[in-house]
Amino acid sequence: MALKKSISGFRGTIGGKAGANLTPVDIVSNVAGYGAWLLETGAKPLVVIGRDGRPSGPIVKTLTAATLQSLGIDVIDLDFATTPTVEVAVKQHDAGGGIILSASHNPKEYNALKLLNGEGEFISAAAGARLMEIAELGDIEYAAVDDLGKLLPDGTALQHHISLVLAHPLVEVEAIRKQNFRIVLDAVNSVGAIAIPALCRELNVVCEVINGELNGEFAHNPEPLPENMTQLIERMETSEANLGVAVDPDVDRLALIGPGGRWIGEEYTLAVVADYVLSRTPGPVVSNLSSSRVVADVAKSYGHDYHAAAVGEVNVVEKMKAVGAVIGGEGNGGIIDPALHYGRDSLIGLALVLSHLATSGKTINELRDGYPHYEMIKDKKAVADSYDLNAAFVRVKAKFSSVPTNEVDGLKLDFPDGWVHLRASNTEPIVRVYAEAPSVARAKELAGGVMAEL
């Protein structure tokens, strides 16, 4: 994979030649650009870093920390940490920024640098453009020997994060504790194996962990999709647990499985959480253009506004702030609760799901039955770097000229009984094709008709 640079940060495969993959040279140059940009803005010269369980993590962490220190920036090292834990820790330490060392759902050969500002949120597109300009120019002044930054290990970040979750006004701690819930967690051999059981212990929830060895040797494709969750689904078919939970390697995505092995899925995670939040806190809801219609349906059932944002956490957060949303996120299982922080967070997501179960007296399967039924398919088409996606969009619009479209982010076609969304990936050389309809067959039919024009 070619090294990808975007507002999501820098992502690529380990090894190969500099400039084409995520090599030591690329890590150092891009971290130096980030650090120089941070100092240019006058931010506090203090950066929090944390990593997921990937085998390349120690090397990437060492290079990242040393580069920042060489610029005179102090580094708080959380070592193993979830993405939302790093985000929360930036605010905890009043740091100037943060770097998350994780390639999220990508396979183990990938790693990435995900860049945060002083609010613990992903940096803006303008900030990303400026730091890439600095990195490419290479005209960066490093600190003299007496001004080098310090490396400051911190083992308190996860407990601080959990304490904030427990103090959240909508997390019904005592109600959850009284239920003696049992869950099965697929931790996919990464930091979820530390974070989710620690939260469960505080909530008196028994947590059975599968794939809990924290070695980054992912037992299966780490993206929490049903085809990758066969082990967890099979375990839930025979388990007496109340809930099955799947997270991705950096624990910002949450997928749910019900008793009997029923796939609730990542698309319905936000619907379950939004239902609970709106029952207690009125206000708008935001998700992205590729998220299920069920979120809009839930908002409508409470008489509240729904808003769609471009795909990408930074875009959803921007829209949430603009409309004053009380809950939001992405259909990939990313829950963003502004009462905690503006970042996708599986810990608060799980706590709110358990609160919903504890206070409603319903099972997760019963909650799922109460929402409109949609089926979504998520496909992709590999493309060359030279592929003209705009020309492809012109062909699609010509073919479906009577169908309303939205071009805020790629191209979305809103059919009467479903939709298809096409967009270029920010992290891989592919075109993502999402479609939703009342049945899988219809979703495939809609997507197939559109993909034929690609």
pLDDT at 380: 87
Compute the distance between CA of residue 218 and CA of residue 246 in angstroms, rounded to an integer. Answer: 13
CATH number at residue 435: 3.30.310.50
Q: What is the DSSP string of 65-83?
A: HHHHHHTT-EEEEEEE--H
pLDDT at 452: 87
Question: What is the tens place of the pLDDT at every residue in 265-317?
Answer: 899 999 999 999 999 999 999 999 999 999 999 999 999 999 999 988 999 99
Return the active site residues.
Answer: 104
- Asked if residue 372 lies in contact with residue 186, where contact means CB atoms within 8 angstroms, the answer is no
- Examine the domain organization and report whether 149 and 173 are in the same domain: no
- Examine the domain organization and report whether 102 and 164 are in the same domain: no
- Examine the domain organization and report whether 352 and 231 are in the same domain: yes
pLDDT along the chain (454 residues), means of 10: 72 92 95 97 98 98 98 98 98 98 94 97 92 91 98 98 98 98 98 98 98 96 93 97 98 98 94 98 96 95 95 93 98 96 98 98 98 91 83 92 92 93 81 94 94 85
pLDDT at 8: 65
Helix spans in 218-363 (H): 230-238, 267-278, 294-301, 313-323, 346-360
Q: Is the sign of the CA dihedral 224, 228, 230, 235 positive or negative?
A: negative
pLDDT at 384: 80
pLDDT at 312: 87
- Examine the domain organization and report whether 59 and 111 are in the same domain: yes
> How many domains is the chain partitioned into structurally?
3
Tell me the residue range of the domain where 45 lies: 4-155
Please state the pTM of the whole predicted model: 0.93
Helix spans in 330-454 (H): 346-360, 364-369, 389-399, 440-451
From residue 241, alpha-carbon distances to 32, 67, 182, 212 in Å are 47, 46, 5, 17
pLDDT at 427: 62
Residue with tokens 């650090």: 35
- Examine the domain organization and report whether 185 and 151 are in the same domain: no
- Examine the domain organization and report whether 357 and 381 are in the same domain: no
From residue 200, alpha-carbon distances to 82, 161, 189, 203, 367 in Å are 16, 13, 18, 5, 21
Coil, strand or helix at 314: helix
